[in-house]
Structure 1
Amino acid sequence: MAKTALLQQGLLEFTLNSPQNTDTFGFELANDTKVSLLAPGVVRFEPKDSIPSRAIVLSAGIHGNETAPIECLDKLVSDIFALEVKLEQPLLVILGNPPAMIEAKRELSVNLNRLFIGKHQNYASCYEVERAKQLESLLDNFYKSYQHLPAYHLDLHTAIRSSKHEKFAVYPFTHGKPWQKSSLALLQACGVDCVLFSNEPASTFSYHSSAKYNAVAFTVELGKVHAFGQNDLSKLEQLSTTLQQLLSDSNLSSLGFKPKQAVLFEVSDVVNKHQEDFCFSFGQSQANFTEYQTGYELAKEGSGSVVIGNGPKAIVFPNDKVAIGQRAVLLVKRMSLSDIEQAEKNHRLE
């Protein structure tokens, strides 16, 4: 029976055993929490008789080889099944790209995290394009079912490269709305002090939730890519503890923003790849947040080059193997404590 297999195997193993199975089913746990398997790797929890204060989406595996957060969410789901987590909030858990997980690849055909907010319409049909459509629909149904509640979405990843800040988050572009200290406090509680403030709209899963549903949403990077079974999940204990608090507590006021502990960056430049010969001046081992001074030749492309202006600036997510037209690297500038204080005075940070 599918219910028994899901409970015994856990969400990850169950999904990888049948990544294309379109069967859906539902059941109730012993505490009357309603469980619905909506699609491969997608399960919805609806606690009975609780008075919820937020609607929560937790996703991982949008890139199939980013395994640590997949394993983290798999354990969380198993703990919910075992009634070891007090679940008071409606929850949608998404393992994004099961076929890519099986092949230990970032994607099969197209970067799934570039297909949201409707961008999948610009691509020919393939697994990731159809999956983006499906995930948008499931997300829409979930948030609309709880439209009276604040929406939350943590999209969990690991990075291709090592990083001078092992854990960091991308704060989606807010279209002029202030950054929220309560959101930064939540990230700090998860063990994520380093945050990048985006400077333009994106097609990522977290931006989709932020822009369309006004969700407290982030792309959260949790270390470096490793194969299944090779992750040290003890490094994610703070995250796991805070996720349980997010799922249970109605009031998160105990989480306070610590500005002196914060490492905040603003994105200054988005460098896209326009030609096949685009290549960086540094090697594949160069870490995220490596800083370069004004005048440094960052990359070459065709007969031109990309040069750092108004430095120093640090690199984040450098990848010269992306498809033409996609982002090759972000350039970011660090905010000082006085910058943070000024942002508060100017109501950019509230």
Structure 2
Amino acid sequence: MAKTALIQQGLLAFTLNSPQNAKPFDFELANNTKVMLLASGVLQFEPKESTSSRAIVLSAGIHGNETAPIEFLDRLVSDIFALEITLDQPLLVILGNPPAMMEAKRELSVNLNRLFIGKHKNYERCYEVERANQLETLLDNFYQSYQHLPAYHLDLHTAIRGSKHEKFAVYPFTQGKPWKKSSLALLQSCGVDCVLFSNEPASTFSYHSSAKYNAVAFTVELGKVHAFGQNDLSKLDQLVSTLQQLLSASKLNSLEFEANKAILFEVSDVVNKHQEDFCFSFNQSQANFTEYQTGYELAKEGSERVVISNGPKAIVFPNDKVAIGQRAVLLVKRMTQSDIVQAEKKHRLI
């Protein structure tokens, strides 16, 4: 029976046994929570007899080799099945790219996290294109079913390389709306003090939720990529306790933003790859948030040079192996405590 297999195996093993063609089914837990398998790796939980105050999406495995958050969500789902987590809020859990997970690859053909908010329509048909369309539909249906509730979405990742700040989050472009201290407080409670503010629209999963549904949504990086079974999930204990609060009936107004602990960056430049010969001048193992001074030659492309201006600036997500037209690196500038105070005075941060 599918229900028994799912509960006994756990979401991860059950998904990997049928990475593309799982048949939907539903059942109820002993506490009357309805569980619905909507597609491979996608579970919706609908608590009964509770007064919900938010609709929550938790996703991982958008890149198939980012295993720590995949294992983390697998454990979270098992705890919900075992009634060890109080679930008072509707929840959508997504393991994004099961076939890539099977092959321990970032993607099969195309970067899935560049295909959302309709961008998949611009690509030739492949698994990731079809999956992006499917995930958008399931996400949209979920949020529309709970449109009377505030929306939340944490898209959990791990980075290809090390980082000077092990855990960090990307705050989606806000279309001119102010950044919210309450959102930063939620991240800090999860153990994420480092946040970088995007400066333009994106095609990421978290931006889809933020732009279309005004969700409190972030791409959250939880360390470095490791193989399945080689992750120390104890490093995510703060995330566990905060999600337990988020998923329960608890109010979140007890979470406070601590500006003195905040490590905030603004994206200043997005460097895209335009030619196959694009290459960085620094070592490919260089950590995220490594800073370079004004005048440093960051990369070469044909006869062009990418040079740091108005530095110092730090690198985030450098990858010169991306497809032509995609982002090769973000350049970010750290905000000082004075910058944070000015952002509050100008109501950029409320």
TM-score by length of 1: 1.00
Within-5 A mapping of 1:65-80: 65-80=65-80
Whether 1:255 aligns to 2:274 is no
Cα deviation, residue 20, structure 1: 1.5
Q: Using the alignment, how far apart are the partners of 1:282 and 1:75 within structure 2?
A: 38
1:224-243 equivalences under 5 Å are 224-243=224-243
Opposite residue 6 of structure 1, the aligned amino acid is L
Q: Retained in 2: the 8 A contact 1:28–1:34?
A: yes
Instruction: Could you list the structure 1 runs, at least 4 aligned residues long, displaced by more than 4 angstroms after superposition.
Output: none
- SS of the aligned residue for 1:260 comes to helix
Aligned to 1:112: 112
Deviation at 1:241, TM superposition (A): 1.1
Cα drift, residue 22 of structure 1: 3.4
**Partner residue, 2:208:** 208
TM-score normalised per structure 2: 1.00
Q: Which residue number corresponds to residue 167 of structure 1? A: 167
Aligned to 1:190: 190
Q: Distance in 1 between matches of 2:222 and 2:260?
A: 21
Contact 2:52 2:249 in 1 (8 A): no
Q: Tell me the distance in 1 between the aligned counterparts of 2:102 and 2:22.
A: 17
Conserved in 2, the CA contact under 8 Å of 1:52 and 1:250?
no
Aligned CA-pair RMSD: 0.5
Tell me the distance in 1 between the aligned counterparts of 2:166 and 2:18.
Answer: 33
Match of 2:178 in 1: 178
How many Å apart are 1:285 and its aligned residue?
A: 1.3
Contact 2:289 2:315 in 1 (8 A): yes
Which stretches in structure 1 are left out of the alignment for 5+ residues? none
| Correspondence for 2:336 | 336
Structure 2 partner of 1:274: 274
The letter for the 2-side match of 1:202 is A
> Is 1:53–1:250's contact at 8 Å kept on the other side of the alignment?
no
Decide whether the 8 Å contact of 1:157 with 1:219 is kept in 2: yes
Alignment partner, residue 313 of structure 1:
313
Measure how far apart 1:254 and its partner are.
Answer: 1.0
- Measured in 2, the distance between the counterparts of 1:206 and 1:135 equals 12
- SS of the residue aligned with 2:305? strand
Q: Deviations over 1:64-106 (max 9, x none)?
A: 0000000000000000000000000000000000000000000
Identity rate, percent: 85
Cα distance in 2 between the residues matched to 1:122 and 1:309: 33
Shift of 1:249: 3.2
Match status 1:285 vs 2:280: no
Aligned equivalents of 1:240 and 1:313: distance in 2? Answer: 33
Which residues of structure 2 form unaligned runs of 5+?
A: none
Would you say the 8 A contact 1:189–1:242 is kept in 2?
yes
Partner amino acid, structure 2, of 1:121: K
Question: In 1, Cα distance between the equivalents of 2:140 and 2:20?
Answer: 22
1:50 aligns with 2:50: yes
